[in-house]
Amino acid sequence: LGQRFWDLMNTGIVDTNHFPDRFVSNRKATPECPSFMHLHVGFEMAKHELQKLQAHYIYIADWVRGVSDDENCALVSIPSVHDDTLAPNGYAVLHIYTPATERFERWENVKRNTPEYKALKEERSEFLWNVLESIIPDIRQRTIHSQVGTPLTHQRFLRRHKGTYGPAIYASEGSFPFPTTPVEGLLLCGDSCFPGIGVPAVAGSGIIAANSISLDTIVPQLKVLQQLKSRNSG
């Protein structure tokens, strides 16, 4: 079952009466990472101008404050630098976002599609626009289309609890749990299980869950990996 702690315990997917009280309380108390602010932009730019840009930038306003501080860090991706088919001739696309530093508390009482929500989106995306202007000074004038993503966007479209990036489990304080549960035959996988957050880690959790069912799956998996390795090296 590929579910996060909070979904499993709070949504009625399973009857938590089958779990020990301590298991339920521990899982519900798992702290979550903050969410994101996103800005997607389609803008005018000639090919020779794109060639002067990098495909990726990391912006940090103040190293002393660190990457986790509010409105201090942003990551920028301009894929059109390497692939001019992503937009019509004379145009380009980019994506800029904060690295899981946006607190859900700021958004949780705001209703989507309201003037309040629109105003908050504009307010919280201003930092991203300012970062873009340090790379492309006239980006606002060049923009023909833009979309802002918020923690509520993550919550709605990605079904993320509070729009979170994932569980805030630090290596110095604990570890992600393995797939087994107190219910026989119920295994978990996903970014709330070991080894943690991110696509490779989630895939790894699925492998661990599969191997927890039967060790007999390991040899066939190794054979498939070897076949893939031989195919890629050929």
Q: Are 151 and 102 in contact (CB under 8 A)?
A: yes
What pLDDT score does 2 carry? 46
65-78 pLDDT, tens digit per residue, is 999 999 999 999 99
Does position 7 have pLDDT exceeding 80, yes or no? no
Q: With cut-offs at 50, 70 and 90, classify the pLDDT of residue 153.
A: very high
Using pLDDT thresholds of 50, 70 and 90, give the confidence band for residue 234. low
- As a whole number, mean pLDDT of residues 126-149 equals 98
Work out the pLDDT band at 87, boundaries 50, 70, 90. Answer: very high
Alpha carbon separation from 153 to 97, 148, 164 (Å, rounded):
13, 9, 11
Taking Cα atoms as reference points, which of 106, 110, 111 lies closest to residue 124? Answer: 106
What is the pLDDT, as a whole number, of residue 161?
85
Mean pLDDT, rounded, for 142-170: 91
The predicted pLDDT at position 172 comes to 83
Provide DSSP, 158-223. S--GGG-SSB---TTT-----SB-SSTT-B--STTSTT-SSHHHHHHHHHHHHHHH-GGGHHHHHH
CA distance 109 to 71: 21
**Nearest one of 211, 210, 191, 209 to 201, comparing CA atoms:** 191
Place of tokens 């946006």: 102
Average pLDDT, whole number, for the chain? 90
Query: Between 165 and 94, where is the model more confident?
Result: 94
Question: Does residue 12 carry a pLDDT above 60?
Answer: yes
Q: How far is CA 15 from the centre of its chain?
A: 28
Residue 4 has pLDDT above 60, yes or no: yes
pTM value?
0.80
**Residue 10: pLDDT above 80?**
no
Higher pLDDT: 93 or 181? It is 93
Per-residue pLDDT at 187 exceeds 90 = no
> Which residue has tokens 């997917």?
13
pLDDT band, very low/low/confident/very high, at 231 (cuts 50, 70, 90): confident
Region of poorest pLDDT, from 10-14, 18-22, 186-190? 10-14
Supply the pLDDT for residue 175: 86
